Structure 1
Amino acid sequence: MSLEQFKKMPFSLLYQKHMIPVSNEIMNVVLSYVKAKTNGQPLELAVDVGCGTGRYTLPLAPHFKKVLGTDISDSQIHVAKQYNSAHNVSYMVAPAEKLPLKDASVDLVNAGLAAHWFTVDQFVNEAARVLKTNGCLAVHAFYPGTEIEYKELSGDLTALMKELWDTLFLYCDLSKERILTQYQNIYEASALKDKEWVKDIPFTMQMSIHEIIAFIQSICCFETFKEKNSEKAGQFLINTEKRFRKILGEKADSIQLNVQMKHFCFMACKY
């Protein structure tokens, strides 16, 4: 699957607006790890690689003197500057495999919902290059297994979400396998010896039917589906909404569903 879709402004705006919220649980895991490894020393610089629209960049701002977000997409960086700015946050177009930073200059290299797109060997080597001694690498994403809880209808709703993911997976490439193995390839590729691999970090949010449909449209697999067959993709959304309504009944529009996903995170420290 091409990364060209991320370079299109309409998709960048859709991604910013409807992708699932930032996981506070993941951010707490990452920041706790960094603070433990740096022994409470002042944190000067964090780099959010593949930052997209800056959704995981901005939460780093209170914890570092400076934060830099990098991405290969002009449109994603443009949206990041518009929606996720702070006085100590800057953004730059740059590839993950060639960061515009000096050796041993960074306290944290972070990548949220992005590392499955990278050329892994080059990225982990580049991260090791720019990290200070005791600097940390953290890459994380969500696992696309989704459970929905709502009274006695939980089983039917969860089964429907599984079918939706199965359809979307038809339009994914190697990135899907990297996510399904929870970044095992990055864990194995990193030469940093002090490393942790945390799996199945739960994240629960409340979503309406409309929000779930909008979220589907913000997934790159669906964007590829739409590019290949816009009529079929549009019908897929219509049928999906109808199936949710059939399960939930006449009060479907007013129902907030408990949607649970699981995140995973690979972290390493440079000694």
Structure 2
Amino acid sequence: MKTQVFNKMPFSLIYHKHMVPIATEITSMVLSYVKEKTGGRPLEMALDVGCGTGRSTLPLAPHFKKVLGIDISDSQINVAKQYNTANNVSYMVAPAERLPVQDNSVDLVNTGLAAQLFTIENFFNESVRVLKTNGCLAAHGFFPFPEIEYKDLSHDLNTAMSEMWDTLCQQAYTTGLSEAADHMLNQYRTIYETIDLKDKKWIKDIPVKYQMSISEIFGFARSLCTCQILLEKNEKEAKQLLAQTDKR
């Protein structure tokens, strides 16, 4: 299975520790859209699909009476439960194509990076089933080639990192994840076009900045499933790539 890496507890712990948090700009944009469509009524429930270890689930907690995060990976859900800090957030193992909630019961269906791995038509049909009238579906990801800015060294740092990003991206095209990689590279345009709703928006090129150390950047690289796949396929090559990039 192409996504079996997510079922391994060591990787789930790395993912939880090093994957960048959901940007506040994205959460605010989603909530603004939800409130606009619901007319400001109290928000009862949000469903975070493909929630992983809860990076986009917990930020929703202050805005809804109840938030449910679901993911197909047992290990990701176990880590999410371990680090759950909100009383109104719960987690469950379930697939995106069979949402474990009743019809017409959800104000927001939210999905982040996992959307690229869904069977989109089935997920969309399920989302329509569970959403209330004027409820919202939000899908968001990020471009897989981050740019580094640091004083007058930005160009040199990005040059040093480019080989590593390219190598990790190529793993997607050699391990059956090419469609997922394409979704990220085109900023979910294909997913947007597949969703058959009249009232929808596709927003791209949203600038988001994170302050990170070099070690945190390498931690982020290790939290990418393509890096873990490379480590499992050729540990020596992967460690050499990381070490050479670190030295540069």
Contact 1:44 1:107 in 2 (8 A): yes
From 205, 208, 218, the counterpart of 1:213: 218
CA RMSD between the two structures:
1.1
Equivalent residue number for residue 161 of structure 1:
161
- SS where residue 96 of structure 2 aligns? coil
Distance 1:161 1:205 in 2: 16
User: Could you tell me which amino acid in structure 2 is paired with residue 185 of structure 1?
Assistant: T
Equivalent residue number for residue 29 of structure 2:
29
Q: CA deviation at 1:21?
A: 2.2
Q: CA deviation at 1:99?
A: 0.5
Structure 2 unaligned regions, length at least 5: none
Q: CA deviation at 1:85?
A: 3.5
Contact 1:124 1:186 in 2 (8 A): no
Equivalent residue number for residue 226 of structure 1:
231
Give percent identity, aligned residues only. Answer: 63
Q: Is structure 2 residue 81 aligned with structure 1 residue 81?
A: yes
Distance 2:62 2:196 in 1: 30
Q: CA deviation at 1:103?
A: 1.2
Q: CA deviation at 1:161?
A: 2.8
Equivalent residue number for residue 184 of structure 2:
179
Relative contact order: is structure 1 or structure 2 higher (C-alpha 8 Å, sep ≥ 6)?
A: 1
Which one is further off, 9-18 or 209-218? 209-218
For residues 101-125 of structure 1, the C-alpha deviation after alignment (integer angstroms, 9 at most, x for no partner) is: 1111110000011100101111111
Equivalent residue number for residue 19 of structure 2:
19
For residues 37-95 of structure 1, the C-alpha deviation after alignment (integer angstroms, 9 at most, x for no partner) is: 11101110100000000111001011001000000011100000111331111110000
Contact 2:109 2:131 in 1 (8 A): yes
Distance 2:140 2:19 in 1: 15
Distance 1:82 1:24 in 2: 23
Equivalent residue number for residue 129 of structure 1:
129
Q: Is structure 2 residue 203 aligned with structure 1 residue 198?
A: yes
- SS where residue 138 of structure 1 aligns? strand
Distance 1:170 1:39 in 2: 45
User: Could you tell me which amino acid in structure 2 is paired with residue 223 of structure 1?
Assistant: Q
Aligned length: 243
TM-score normalised according to structure 1 size: 0.87
Distance 1:223 1:87 in 2: 32
Contact 1:125 1:190 in 2 (8 A): no
Equivalent residue number for residue 40 of structure 1:
40
User: Could you tell me which amino acid in structure 1 is paired with residue 223 of structure 2?
Assistant: S
Contact 1:146 1:162 in 2 (8 A): no
User: Could you tell me which amino acid in structure 2 is paired with residue 54 of structure 1?
Assistant: G
Q: Is structure 2 residue 227 aligned with structure 1 residue 240?
A: no
Structure 1 stretches of 4+ moved >3 Å:
none
Q: CA deviation at 1:186?
A: 1.3
Structure 1 unaligned regions, length at least 5: 244-271
Equivalent residue number for residue 110 of structure 1:
110
> Greater share of strand residues, 1 or 2?
1
